[in-house]
Structure 1
Amino acid sequence: MRVFAVQPDDTAIHDLEVPTPSPEGRQVLLKVVRAGVCHTDTHLRAGGYDLGSRGMMSMKARGIEYPMVLGHEVVGVVEKVGDSVESVRVGDVRLIYPWIGCGECRQCREGHDNRCAAGKNLGVARHGGYAEYILVPDEKYLVDIDGLDPSWAATLACSGLTAYSAVDKVLPLEPDEPVVVFGAGGLGLTAIAILRSRGHRNICAVDVAERNLALAQDMGASSTVLSGPGSGADDIRRAAGGPASAVIDFVNNGITATAAFEVLAKAGIMVQVGLFGGEVTLPTALLALRMIRIEGSFVGTPAQMQELVRLAQRGELPHIPLVERPLSAAAVSQALDDLTAGGVAGRIVLTA
């Protein structure tokens, strides 16, 4: 089968032929029809994550096998099934939950695959969706998306799920308590839409691009702040109508994390989601005196993805803007370049 992959210490996307896997047991082989493009893929192509003064977290040093086939927002058509599969059959269209755990630890047994310390995520430790076919290790990771646009459905596996899980960490609040969302790309727009769908009214979007802020208003943001030189925490508090009860930071670099801390109300919560990297220095006494809670959030659970898909199927989740492009090595490379440059409004989905 054809895959579009990266090699170690090489940011080029290579068009390669590799053996097509044959499913066994509860495994399922799907033909890829949609593959969303995520900012996480840009970091993986670069080789890792910026840890500030701690240097770089290298994927190569962590034992990731190459060639690495990226792509974790995947919708596919069932091509073959293992001999123990019961819930799907050839021809079924399914969304894939990609955050695969070991299946044995306490977190996995409790349904929190995304918390597994030995995770084997699709598109990272296992071949992902920038390929002709994708092998899913268990049928339980497949979700029926009947009635949904497959391109939009693909984004629910990461941007949708990540936003849904982050919103879960800040709600319930009173509908008019300020919630600030840093970053109005695909993730931030989805979070704003989910906040609105769950009845929240005071949502302040912060971004460096006016185009993204206009989209944020379309999704339901009640106020916006254009970030950059000359703007700061005072502008955000003013736009939101006061200190924020919660901040969801989909950028999460040194600048946004510092601003998030500054805009929080007493007993506020910072939910840090983005992987743009860097570090932040916070006054420890104020953490205690202001009772600030800081929580990292990485994607979500299989149950949360099921809930999110049902929400979408009921028509309670507004669509985010999508840009469709053909699935090819050149298109993968261009999409990652565009995301790195910040030139994408909404989400790119590659179509096979």
Structure 2
Amino acid sequence: MQAARLHEYTDDMSEALTIEEVDRPEPTRSDHVVVEVEGAGWCQTDNHIVEGMWEEYAPVDLPQTLGHENAGRVVETGDEVTTVEEGDRVICHPLMTCGTCRRCRLGDDMHCENAQFPGLTTDGGFAEYLLTSERAAIRLDTLDPVEIAPHADAGITAYHAAKKAADELVPGSYAVVIGIGGLGHIGLQALDSMTAARTVAVDVKDAALDLAADCGADYTVNSADEDVAEAVEGITDGAGALQVLDFVGADATTSLGPDLLAGRGDHHVVGYGGHVHEPSQTLVDAEIAYRGTLVGTYTELQELVALVEQGEMDLHTTEYDLSQINAVAEKLEHGEIEGRAVIKP
């Protein structure tokens, strides 16, 4: 089969991956599922993997097939698989989890002690076929695998952050969403579907803010032209926001938290690459918190699929062939992709 392989870490996205012939995966465990990939989303995390940012956290032996936002058709299963069968269309949770460790039994499967992460620690879905497990596969009854594939990571991550924020938001409160890109536009819709809070979308591009308005944002702020803290202060009549969802995660955005938040508010760091530099007294005085967001659980992906089926979520995607994969990486690196890019192997 054809697969896009990473042979060495690099900052040059134009030649990041090599298309080559590799063996098709086969089930080697009774719970294994082989999926013919119909759509695989390209994620900013893929750029970070190419750059070597994940080497310290998830060391692997290269070469490796990337791709962790995967959906397609089941073509083969292990002997004990019962929840999906050959011919089923599925979306794949990013992790292959064990189900027996304490974290899995608590429903916290993103922190499974025995997890495998296709596209990060094992071969992923920028290929014609993907090896995953029964615990990762969610059957799709009516949805197109190509259109929904990015929800496997981008969607579930944005939903996971929005769900945590929704626990704290009440009618009349405000949430600020920073970065209306592939994740941010999903996060906005998730907040809109789960809360009665008013939302403030922040981005440096007018096109992204137009998308935010289409996704239900009550207010938009162009941070290239306006002081974000002053704008939010004016919008909230000085009260501040109860929740900030930061889909950028750069130093410039994480530093906004204390200036935007009301007392006991949370700054959810979803995008990454920057740092959090705040005096401890700043956090103590206002009782504000920085909270990380790592994808989400299997059941949250089920919930997200249900929202899509109900017409509550509109995912903006652009489709590309596998041969265009390095061009996609370059486009994302330069901020030239609105919404999500989907590779069709």
Tell me, yes or no, if structure 1 residue 182 matches structure 2 residue 186: no
State the Cα deviation string for residues 248-277 of structure 1 (Å, max 9, x = none): 1111111100012211001111111112x1
Query: What pairs with 1:170-249 in structure 2 (closer than 5 Å)?
Result: 170-172=165-167, 173-228=169-224, 231-242=227-238, 243-249=240-246
Q: Give me the identity figure in percent.
A: 35
* Residue 120 (structure 1) aligns with: 116
* Residue 53 (structure 1) aligns with: none
Tell me, yes or no, if structure 1 residue 349 matches structure 2 residue 345: no
* Secondary structure of 1:262's aligned partner: helix
Instruction: Supply the AA of the counterpart residue of 1:311.
Output: L
Tell me if structure 1 keeps the 8 A contact 2:221–2:228: no
Tell me, yes or no, if structure 1 residue 30 matches structure 2 residue 35: yes
RMSD: 1.8
Separation in 1, partners of 2:190, 2:301: 13
* Residue 150 (structure 2) aligns with: 155
State the Cα deviation string for residues 51-97 of structure 1 (Å, max 9, x = none): xxxxxxx5178531211211111111111111222222211111111
* Secondary structure of 1:5's aligned partner: strand
* Residue 295 (structure 1) aligns with: 291
Instruction: Supply the AA of the counterpart residue of 2:306.
Output: R
Instruction: Supply the AA of the counterpart residue of 1:170.
Output: A
Deviation for aligned residue 1:231:
2.5
State the Cα deviation string for residues 225-252 of structure 1 (Å, max 9, x = none): 1113763421233245541110011111
Tell me if structure 2 keeps the 8 A contact 1:201–1:222: no
Query: What pairs with 1:14-93 in structure 2 (closer than 5 Å)?
Result: 14-24=18-28, 25-48=30-53, 58-59=54-55, 62-93=58-89
Deviation for aligned residue 1:339:
0.8
Instruction: Supply the AA of the counterpart residue of 2:37.
Output: V
Q: Decide which of 271, 279, 303 is 1:274's aligned counterpart.
A: 271
Is there any run of 5+ residues in structure 1 with no aligned partner, and where?
49-57
Is there any run of 5+ residues in structure 2 with no aligned partner, and where?
none
Q: Decide which of 280, 283, 292 is 1:284's aligned counterpart.
A: 280
* Residue 6 (structure 2) aligns with: 6
Tell me if structure 1 keeps the 8 A contact 2:97–2:135: no
The alignment's TM-score, normalised by the length of structure 2, stands at 0.93
Q: Decide which of 240, 255, 260 is 1:258's aligned counterpart.
A: 255
Deviation for aligned residue 1:153:
1.4
* Secondary structure of 1:186's aligned partner: coil
Deviation for aligned residue 1:164:
0.8
Tell me: CA distance 1:78–1:61, structure 2 relative to 1, closer, same or farther (3 Å): closer
Q: Decide which of 330, 334, 344 is 2:327's aligned counterpart.
A: 334
Deviation for aligned residue 1:135:
0.4
Deviation for aligned residue 1:149:
2.8
Deviation for aligned residue 1:202:
0.9
Tell me if structure 2 keeps the 8 A contact 1:33–1:351: yes
Deviation for aligned residue 1:333:
0.7
Instruction: Supply the AA of the counterpart residue of 1:249.
Output: D
Tell me if structure 2 keeps the 8 A contact 1:180–1:240: no
Deviation for aligned residue 1:125:
0.4
Separation in 1, partners of 2:173, 2:335: 30
Separation in 1, partners of 2:223, 2:96: 36
Deviation for aligned residue 1:177:
0.8
Tell me if structure 2 keeps the 8 A contact 1:185–1:212: yes
Deviation for aligned residue 1:305:
0.6
* Secondary structure of 2:332's aligned partner: helix
Tell me, yes or no, if structure 1 residue 99 matches structure 2 residue 103: no
Deviation for aligned residue 1:296:
0.7
* Secondary structure of 1:156's aligned partner: helix
Separation in 2, partners of 1:21, 1:60: 27
* Residue 168 (structure 1) aligns with: 163
Instruction: Supply the AA of the counterpart residue of 1:349.
Output: V
